[in-house]
Amino acid sequence: MYRYDEFDSKLVINRVKQFTKQIKRRISGDLTEDEFKPLRLMNGLYLQLHAYMLRVAIPYGELSSKQLKMLAYISKKYDRGYGHFTTRQNIQFNWPKLIDIPKILRNLAKVEMHAIQTSGNCIRNVTADHLAGLLPEEIEDPRPWCEIIRKWSTFHPEFSFLPRKFKIAVIGCNEDRAGILVHDIGIKIIKRKEIGFQIFVGGGQGRSPFIAKKISDFVSKKNLLTYLEAILNIYNSLGRRDNIYKARIKILVNELGIEHFKKLVEDRFKLLKQKKTALKGIEIDKIKNYFKLPSLETVGKINPEFPKNPNFEKWLKFNTLNHKVKGYKIVLVSLKSKNYPPGDMDYKQMIHLAELAEKYSFGEIRVTHEQNLVIPHIKITDLFEVWKILDSITLATPNIGLLTDSICCPGMDYCALATARSIPIAQKITNFFEAKKKQDEIGPLKIKISGCINACGHHHVGNIGILGLDKNGQEFYQITLGGSSKENASIGKIIGSSFSSSEIIPAIDKILDVYLEKRDNKNQTFIQTLEQIGLKPFQEALYDNN
Amino acid sequence: MIITEKGLIKINSYNEIVNLDEYQKFNCVLFTKSFFLENITKISSQKKNGLLLNSDDKIEDISQHIIIFSLINVRFLNFKDGRPFSIARDLREIFSYKNEIRASGQILPDQLIFLLKCGFNSVEIDKTKKDTWLNIFKTDSRQDYQR
């Protein structure tokens, strides 16, 4: 994984010093809250419902054991003993005090971490496929490209006061596990005569969801940053600033039309083409070197006999994947157990998992876009042992990709913007469907829950999406069906009027009954079934009471 | 009062004018883009001509004239509106403008280093905040990844 050089370390330490001074100026009154806000946001510091929230960057979701141990220390010392992993592969602390922030940032800097550009109207932490570098079908590992983009976008003097936040994701496989089509810019590594990039622009969720449109079918490696710079320049100059809800690039692309927007970008790109952002092969290779696989030894036994244990077998089926190196498996760690809010992890779990990764996986851990973790390189012969440890710390819930593996925003339990709670709904779903054992019969299905129209829980792209609303002080939940953030990305359709918090679980259950009844066979997905039968049978089951 | 790219505090010598009489009166003048376009034939190359742009002004339509300006002053309508950063970079990199670019309007001292990196040479500042600007000039890191 990437390691800081002296330059990177100095940069982060300088930033901590700068932000510490800014906090002092805020406390002394030299900076007003309005002036301080964009500065603190660019350092990941939000003011939430009850307290400050600090969002720490985990570039492209890659963590070391040492870093996870530091996150555990910070959770215990400065927060309430836990952290929350986000859909953009970062971690949030919900209860730090303003006065402790410089200390937290100094501690993070010790393990090559920071909170830079995890918030604010700038280019945010770049995300990637959490299985980057691990699969045989991958064209090229996206992580070095994320790192190149991370460097280019960090403290970019021109693009730090954009009309609105800006999110970029990169994938290297055909299967999209990073949701590139719901990002401001989605980048897909492709192979033509040479390897380069397809670029998508203007995707996003929030109150006006859009699927990104292809702006370029091929950008060479050399020109990647120049092309991104051209897009950002057009956005910075023409993006709307009169209305916060219309300021994202998706609105600009939609208002101009993709062809017009593309022409502006291409014209700009031509002007910039021979300029300084052109990448040299030697620079690319230097970054790539950081992302080589650890030296995985060839394992003799690749079909070991495991002790008979149904829980282990279920976990093996749902929570492990084949690694490109024979004899190894990729282990997915579910953060969707019924005991914790989705994405939450307590400090003891962090310490144990860090130790486990140190012992069995070269000290590497990853955060997924679906708020789970990955231990990337587990020897097949170690699987039973690894499962036992994970099980003992409530991290072996065998539900990856199933309906209780839902994405969920913090909702009204933490967030100042939320109009309804979302965590209790996720927990109700987990408790209800785990008890009924229905989810195994259903198979892969994405439920995504947002506590307000800003859609941080990605409800628009859930196969079943749940949006929390406020109706005269009561929490209500609207259901959308058919969303997806995969390569066939689509925005879900609203099924009808919303449900109260006591009605929502039975409503989901009815939807699933329709699916189970109508699907042709076990392999037909929820989306395929919906495409085949339409919304009507679901609406009839939910609303036809006569 | 201005702070320069060398960290010096100086008096702003440009006089902001709104009509031709005023234009004739001063030798060192600052005028808007619309004044310039209306009076383009009367602009004297003997004077120090400063052009005042707002965050939302475009520069493409005056790009062939920029050689006449000894100063282009880009006024921030709001410090959160980052368009002036792109305006300055375009002036330098696309239109090869070599004279002074100055930032004015609502700017935070914390934006100084970014301004200098995008091609600004000076910033109009509030004299009561002079020490904060000087302190940031001296202590804020200039280290970056961009080329």
Task: State pLDDT tens for residues A252-286.
Answer: 999 999 999 999 999 999 998 777 889 999 999 99
Query: How many residue pairs bridge chain A and chain B with CB atoms within 8 Å of each other?
Result: 79
Query: What are the backbone dihedrals phi and psi of residue B43, each rounded to the nearest 5 degrees, phi first?
Result: -75, 125
- pLDDT band of residue A48 (cuts 50, 70, 90) is confident
3-state secondary structure of A517: helix
- pLDDT band of residue A99 (cuts 50, 70, 90) is confident
CB distance B140–A18 less than 8 Å?
yes
Asked if the C-beta of A157 comes within 8 angstroms of chain B's C-beta atoms, the answer is: yes
Kindly report the number of other CB atoms within 10 A of residue A166's CB atom.
24
Q: Identify the pLDDT of residue A300.
A: 65
Closest partner residue to B143 among A10, A162, A236, by Cβ? A10
**Cβ-based contacts of A31 with chain B (< 8 Å):** 108
**Cβ-based contacts of A156 with chain B (< 8 Å):** 146
Question: What whole-number percentage of chain A has pLDDT above 70?
Answer: 99
DSSP annotation of A23 reads H
- pLDDT band of residue A180 (cuts 50, 70, 90) is very high
Closest partner residue to B82 among A155, A162, A272, by Cβ? A162
Q: Identify the pLDDT of residue A414.
A: 84
**Cβ-based contacts of A161 with chain B (< 8 Å):** 79-82, 85, 111
Task: State pLDDT tens for residues A518-535.
Answer: 999 999 999 999 999 999
Q: Identify the pLDDT of residue A166.
A: 97
Taking the C-alpha atoms of residue A448 and residue A345, their distance in angstroms, rounded to an integer, is 19
Q: Strand A328-333 vs strand A320-322: parallel, antiparallel, or unpaired?
A: antiparallel
Asked if the C-beta of A246 comes within 8 angstroms of chain B's C-beta atoms, the answer is: no
Is the pLDDT at A121 greater than 90, yes or no?
A: yes
The H or E element that residue A270 is part of is helix A258-272
**Cβ-based contacts of B132 with chain A (< 8 Å):** 25, 30
ipTM passes above 0.85: yes
Residue A15 identity: R
CB distance B144–A157 less than 8 Å?
yes
A377 and A364 in contact (C-beta within 8 Å)? yes
Q: Give the residue on B whose Cα is nearest the Cα of A275.
A: B93
CA distance A35 to chain B (A): 7
CB distance B86–A236 less than 8 Å?
yes
Question: For an interface test with B, which of A152, A161, A275 has the most B Cβ atoms less than 10 Å from its Cβ?
Answer: A161
Taking the C-alpha atoms of residue A35 and residue B111, their distance in angstroms, rounded to an integer, is 11
Is the pLDDT at B133 greater than 60, yes or no?
A: yes
Residue B55 identity: S
Structural domains for chain A: 6-110 (3.90.480.20), 134-287 (3.30.413.10), 310-392 (3.30.70), 407-543 (3.30.413.10)
CA distances from A103 to A115, A154, A285, B105 (A): 13, 22, 36, 35
Q: Identify the pLDDT of residue A508.
A: 96
Q: Identify the pLDDT of residue A301.
A: 66
CA distance A38 to chain B (A): 8
Closest partner residue to B118 among A38, A158, A272, by Cβ? A158
Whose tokens are 């299967």? That residue is A175
Whose tokens are 């004279």? That residue is B99
Taking the C-alpha atoms of residue A16 and residue A335, their distance in angstroms, rounded to an integer, is 31
CB distance B118–A157 less than 8 Å?
yes
Is the pLDDT at A545 greater than 70, yes or no?
A: no
Residue A518: half-sphere exposure toward Cβ, Cα within 13 Å = 21
Look at A546 and A143; give whichever has higher pLDDT. A143
CB distance A152–B143 less than 8 Å?
no
Tell me how far apart the terminal alpha carbons of chain B are, to the nearest angstrom: 31
Q: Identify the pLDDT of residue B146.
A: 85
Task: State pLDDT tens for residues A294-343.
Answer: 988 876 667 788 999 999 999 999 999 999 999 999 999 999 998 888 99
Q: Give the residue on B whose Cα is nearest the Cα of A38.
A: B80
Q: Strand A62-64 vs strand A52-56: parallel, antiparallel, or unpaired?
A: unpaired
Whose tokens are 């003891």? That residue is A348
Written as one string, the DSSP assignment of A203-258 is: -B-TTS-B--EEEEEEEETTTHHHHHHHHHHHHHHHS--S-GGG-SHHHHHHHH-H
CB distance A22–B110 less than 8 Å?
yes
Taking the C-alpha atoms of residue B49 and residue B68, their distance in angstroms, rounded to an integer, is 7
Q: Identify the pLDDT of residue A438.
A: 83
Whose tokens are 């209500």? That residue is A476
Query: Could you tell me the fold of the domain covering B2-139?
Result: TIM Barrel (3.20.20)
**Six token digits for residue A326:** 């024979």
- pLDDT band of residue A53 (cuts 50, 70, 90) is very high
Is the pLDDT at B108 greater than 90, yes or no?
A: yes
A310 and A120 in contact (C-beta within 8 Å)? no
Task: State pLDDT tens for residues A465-492.
Answer: 999 999 999 999 999 999 999 998 999 9
CA distances from A537 to A503, A543, B90 (A): 19, 10, 57
CB distance B86–A154 less than 8 Å?
no
Look at A146 and A416; give whichever has higher pLDDT. A146
Closest partner residue to B93 among A7, A22, A275, by Cβ? A275
